[in-house]
Chain A
Amino acid sequence: MTAATVEDRGPGRAWVAGAARLMRIELRRNAMIWMLPVAGVLFWALTYRRSMALAPLWNVRAMTMQSTTIAVFIPTVTGVAAWTGTREARRRLTDLLSVTSRSRWRRQLASWAATTAWALGCYLACVGVLYGVTATQATGSGPPWWPVLVGAASVPALAALGFTAGTVLPSRYTPPLVAMGAFLMFEAGLELVHGAGSPWQISPLVTGPYQLGDYEGLATFYPYLPDLPIAQVIFLVGLTLALLGILGLPSLAGGRWPRLVAAALTVTGVLSAATATALAGTGRLDPHGMIAIPALHNAADDRPVAYTPVCSHTAIPVCLHPAYRAYLGAVSTDLAPLLDELAGVPGAPARIAQTTTTYRWTDDGIDIATSAWTMHGTPPVYTIVLPNQAGEPALSVDQSANRVKGRIARDLVTAVVGGGSDPAQQAVTAGVLKGVRPVLGSEPPDLGRRITPNTPAAVAAQRFAALPVGTRHAWLVVHAADLKAGRITLDQLP
């Protein structure tokens, strides 16, 4: 194909072909290539390893990914972009490049775009690995994409920040100073986040109520609220446009029209960023634990996500949200003897089901409430929450299960037998729990242990515990109501 035929197809196509060749050179010689291994190692150390230590829940891993990955990319991308921005001055090419007909702004945009492209590719590859591995482990709802989008919008903004700083201050000291300064600025900005209505939560490092952290109760039973991510994306796009626009404002940057376009971009970017920040300042704590921004809120996101629970095959099934499938065995297997024994006994639940938590902002911080640990409905359903749902520190699956098994046992036995000081109740409680006590750990601390040795109650408890399970179960089905009402004496126990 000759040059003439290409030109004949229009100046637009020729311009694109020229821009593509320029980008190819910039991509091939971009300094970000050298930083990719560093970013990869930092991602592995700070994001991947931490995520893999957390439960395989999409919400937890996605939110952790957003905050830690962006923290990794802040110094690396801003530093490299600043290095690229200082390139012309460092290499004494300012005069030579200033007399080329293509505007300085376009030239700079090509350098910025190449840096951004490499950084974005690296970011997406890192997220792809994390999401890919999580996809093989997680169950239930699919991956939340908003954290990925916020991170993807952060990369061009960070590159624009570094590049603009490098262009304005073209010194070899600028890149390290910008890298450190940006990292400290973003991290220090987190300290300014107070309450759900803080404009500082526009920082892409914030994934939800900052005081809450990445708890498992968020965005599982209800949708991942996109309100704050939308505001963050608007902010980041605005920041990018404003910074790139600033590059095109100087008279040397280009002709009249490019400068007008640059001015329009700058104004649009500043207004977008300011609007997004103001929107973040109107946020409120959603009852389901995320930040709702009234102007961006979609009422449809307040509806719970429909799901089919996963249940154990115990006589009293333990049912959890499918996202928590990993917890099911840990919670139900050890309790199986107890559940088998209590199934069908008056006062025992027909099912044990996981429920949600609600969140409310108070003067002391975020109050997490739950309707769990009670019986509801007919037939009765006993509700539970896992510790991490209730704002406790991140625990492993086994740690979480151990925390709830004892409480389930105590509440179920209390519901069936009664929790009073009646000797017969104590004897039956001790007998029923004997088979499962080793797996309950220290919970419950005193249930069924208040019997003094060598007393009639102790003897009755031993006698009851020695009965076959079927015999005990049959006796409880008939006598549980009287036992709970205190109408059974020790002598009446089998």
Chain B
Amino acid sequence: MNIDITDVTRRFGRTRAVAGVTMSAGPGVLGLLGPNGAGKTSLLRMLATVIPPTSGRIRLLERDPGVAAQRRAIRRRLGYVPQHLGYYPSFTVVEFVEYFALLKEVPAAQVPRAVATAVERVGLGDKARARMRTLSGGMLRRAGIAQAIVNDPELLLLDEPTAGLDPEQRVAFRGLLRDLGQTATVVVSTHLVEDVGAACAQVALMDGGRIVFHGTPQELTARGEGRTAAGDAPLERGYSTVLAEARS
């Protein structure tokens, strides 16, 4: 399993953002759904080794991120797009992606090809030499995804990756997700239920720091059938039903 976490909690002061999550995931695309404040971003940041858990055990790519040497090995094979993507305005798209490739220790000789591949995969080939400051919000998002996949990661963590993308770009992005999920474990945190339905083989629904549902999108859809929960689509009704049950 590329992700194997047991009873993980994370506190920020008195606030418990993640409250005893146990989960495992292998290759494939896992959608992480949940309302605002559910703990999705905190869980992703722990999986990305940005922050350690307050308690519990995390193993990523068969390694312990609590050990410096193993954490470094994990990070070489990790891709991450945070919710608020930062960037250096004066860098070109290629420089931005190359910068991360080098920091992820992609062998120098492989960097040009890896960068070109990543930039092409997110559809920014024609903007490769453009400065980051000149890109639109959607393009910036795609540049962020390019830096995440430049090292051909085995574990890819995407926090709200489709925010700012237009419908055409989102469709293309879902295709990219499915492609990446062939070999890697991809965790996508999103509010957009339709993204999950279209691209994810597995879905986990978080609420109050806990995972209240873990299954396939079809199973989530089934939970809403015959119910009067809110939602325009079957998957949304499943989502609302599970949340209502968890809170009752």
* A contacts, CB < 8 Å to B: 1-3, 5-7, 14, 17-18, 20-22, 25, 28-29, 87-88, 91-102, 107, 254-256
- The 0/1 profile, CB within 8 Å of A marked 1, for residues 85-116 of chain B is 11111110001001110111101111100000
- Residues in A neighbouring B86, C-beta threshold 8 A: 88, 91-96
Shortest A450–chain B CB gap in Å is 79
B76 within 8 A of A: yes
B82 within 8 A of A: yes
Shortest A195–chain B CB gap in Å is 49
B108 in contact with A21 (CB, 8 Å): yes
- Residues in B neighbouring A101, C-beta threshold 8 A: 72-73, 75-76, 103-105
A25 in contact with B110 (CB, 8 Å): no
Specify which of B69, B95, B108 is in contact with A29 (CB 8 Å cutoff): B95
A125→B129 CA distance, assembly (Å): 31
A102 in contact with B88 (CB, 8 Å): no
Instruction: Contacts A95-B45, A101-B76 given; indicate if A29 touches B110 (C-beta within 8 A).
Output: no
Specify which of A25, A94, A97, A98 is in contact with B95 (CB 8 Å cutoff): A25
Shortest A56–chain B CB gap in Å is 43
A287→B208 CA distance, assembly (Å): 80
Give the residue name and chain of the B residue nearest to A93 (CB).
B86
- The 0/1 profile, CB within 8 Å of A marked 1, for residues 57-95 of chain B is 000000000001100110110101110111111110001
B49 within 8 A of A: yes
- Residues in B neighbouring A3, C-beta threshold 8 A: 107, 109-110
- Residues in B neighbouring A6, C-beta threshold 8 A: 107-109
A100→B95 CA distance, assembly (Å): 16
From DSSP, what is the main secondary structure of chain A's interface residues? Answer: helix
B88 in contact with A29 (CB, 8 Å): yes
Instruction: Contacts A25-B98, A95-B82, A96-B82 given; indicate if A20 touches B108 (C-beta within 8 A).
Output: yes
- Residues in A neighbouring B88, C-beta threshold 8 A: 29, 87, 91, 93
Shortest B246–chain A CB gap in Å is 29
A306→B118 CA distance, assembly (Å): 68
Shortest A55–chain B CB gap in Å is 45
Instruction: Contacts A28-B95, A87-B88, A92-B86 given; indicate if A98 touches B109 (C-beta within 8 A).
Output: no
Other A-B contacts than A101-B103, A102-B102, 17 sampled, CB-CB below 8 A, are A3-B109, A6-B107, A14-B107, A20-B108, A29-B88, A87-B88, A91-B86, A96-B82, A97-B103, A99-B75, A100-B75, A100-B100, A101-B73, A101-B104, A102-B104, A255-B68, A255-B69
Specify which of A5, A21, A93, A99 is in contact with B98 (CB 8 Å cutoff): A21
Shortest A356–chain B CB gap in Å is 56
B48 in contact with A99 (CB, 8 Å): yes
Give the residue name and chain of the A residue nearest to B80 (CB).
A99
- Residues in B neighbouring A100, C-beta threshold 8 A: 75, 100, 103-104
Instruction: Scan residues 151-166 of chain B and give those whose CB is less than 8 A from a CB of chain A.
Output: none
Instruction: Contacts A3-B109, A96-B86, A99-B78 given; indicate if A22 touches B99 (C-beta within 8 A).
Output: yes
- Residues in A neighbouring B68, C-beta threshold 8 A: 254-256
Pull 17 A–B residue pairs with CB atoms less than 8 Å apart, ordered by A. A1-B109, A3-B110, A6-B109, A14-B107, A22-B99, A22-B103, A25-B91, A25-B95, A87-B88, A91-B86, A95-B50, A96-B85, A98-B50, A99-B49, A101-B72, A101-B104, A254-B68
B109 in contact with A2 (CB, 8 Å): yes
A22→B109 CA distance, assembly (Å): 13
- The 0/1 profile, CB within 8 Å of A marked 1, for residues 172-208 of chain B is 0000000000000000000000000000000000000
Shortest A385–chain B CB gap in Å is 57
A93→B88 CA distance, assembly (Å): 9
Give the residue name and chain of the A residue nearest to B74 (CB).
A101
Give the residue name and chain of the A residue nearest to B157 (CB).
A99
Give the residue name and chain of the A residue nearest to B94 (CB).
A25
- Residues in B neighbouring A256, C-beta threshold 8 A: 68
* B contacts, CB < 8 Å to A: 45, 48-50, 68-69, 72-73, 75-76, 78, 80-82, 84-91, 95, 98-100, 102-105, 107-111, 144, 147
A255→B110 CA distance, assembly (Å): 25
- Residues in A neighbouring B99, C-beta threshold 8 A: 22, 25
Shortest A19–chain B CB gap in Å is 8
Question: Which 9 pairs show the lowest CB-CB distances between chains A and B?
Answer: A92-B86, A17-B108, A100-B103, A93-B86, A3-B109, A101-B75, A255-B68, A6-B109, A3-B110
- Residues in A neighbouring B147, C-beta threshold 8 A: 96
Give the residue name and chain of the B residue nearest to A103 (CB).
B72
A2→B68 CA distance, assembly (Å): 31
Shortest A4–chain B CB gap in Å is 8
Residue among A88, A91, A100, A102 with the highest chain B CB neighbour number at 10 A:
A100
A6→B107 CA distance, assembly (Å): 9
A7 in contact with B109 (CB, 8 Å): yes
Shortest A17–chain B CB gap in Å is 4
Give the residue name and chain of the B residue nearest to A23 (CB).
B102
A22→B144 CA distance, assembly (Å): 18
- Residues in B neighbouring A107, C-beta threshold 8 A: 103
Instruction: Contacts A91-B87, A95-B82, A256-B68 given; indicate if A14 touches B108 (C-beta within 8 A).
Output: yes
Shortest B44–chain A CB gap in Å is 10
Shortest A11–chain B CB gap in Å is 10
A93→B87 CA distance, assembly (Å): 6
A175→B45 CA distance, assembly (Å): 30
Specify which of B69, B105, B110 is in contact with A102 (CB 8 Å cutoff): B105
Give the residue name and chain of the A residue nearest to B48 (CB).
A99
B109 in contact with A17 (CB, 8 Å): yes
- Residues in B neighbouring A1, C-beta threshold 8 A: 109
A97→B95 CA distance, assembly (Å): 15
A60→B149 CA distance, assembly (Å): 59
A21 in contact with B95 (CB, 8 Å): no
- Residues in B neighbouring A18, C-beta threshold 8 A: 102, 105, 107-108, 111
- Residues in B neighbouring A29, C-beta threshold 8 A: 88, 90-91, 95
- Residues in B neighbouring A7, C-beta threshold 8 A: 107, 109
A6→B110 CA distance, assembly (Å): 10
A2→B76 CA distance, assembly (Å): 21
- Residues in A neighbouring B108, C-beta threshold 8 A: 6, 14, 17-18, 20-21
